[in-house]
Amino acid sequence: MKRLIVLVVLVCASFVASDAKAQSLTITGPCPGIMTFEVNGAAPFARIAYIYSTSTGSWAVPPGFPCAGLITGLGAPVNLGAFAEADAAGDVAVSATIPPGFCGTRFVQALDLLVCSSSPVVLIP
């Protein structure tokens, strides 16, 4: 019985790791102006957190929050930009008005809060 439980845990961990590799974040639109932040390859119906920072690094989601301990590609301090819900295909897009001071100075990352995975870090152009 113990071997079966270990096998199930390993299979689930492999599934989560493959989801993390498929997740992408694309930024389109003029900066400054209205930009769209599109995530593809997240878990179906996952809640997505868009976070941003002025630097890259290894900031960890703090205790008490979903996916606590997840290491991101951003440096502290990290800010929450928005939450959004992915569709059945694991895709979601949000639009926001980006001020001139953010152009070329803010890094963005999307976190899939269902499977605790993250997109690559993308610089707002």
- pLDDT single digits (tens) 9-26: 333 333 343 334 459 999
Q: Which CATH number fits domain 2-123: 3.40.50.970, 3.40.1390.20, 2.60.40.10, 3.90.1300.10?
A: 2.60.40.10
Neighbours of 109 (CB within 10 A): 22
pLDDT, one tens digit per residue, over 38-52 is 999 999 999 999 999
Tell me the pLDDT band of 86, cut-offs 50, 70 and 90: very high
Work out the end-to-end distance of the chain between its first and last CA atoms, rounded to an integer number of angstroms. Answer: 53
pLDDT of residue 88: 97
Q: Show the 3-state SS of the chain.
A: CHHHHHHHHHHHHHHHHHHHHHCEEEEECCCCEEEEEEEECCCCCCEEEEEEECCECCCECCCCCCCCCCECCECCCCEEEEEEECCCCCCEEEEEEECHHHCCCCEEEEEECCCCEECCCEECC
Measured in degrees and rounded to the nearest 5, phi and psi for residue 52 equal -150, 160
Asked which of 10-19, 26-35, 94-103, 106-115 is least confident by mean pLDDT, the reply is 10-19
How far apart (Å, rounded) are the C-alpha atoms in residues 25 and 6? 33
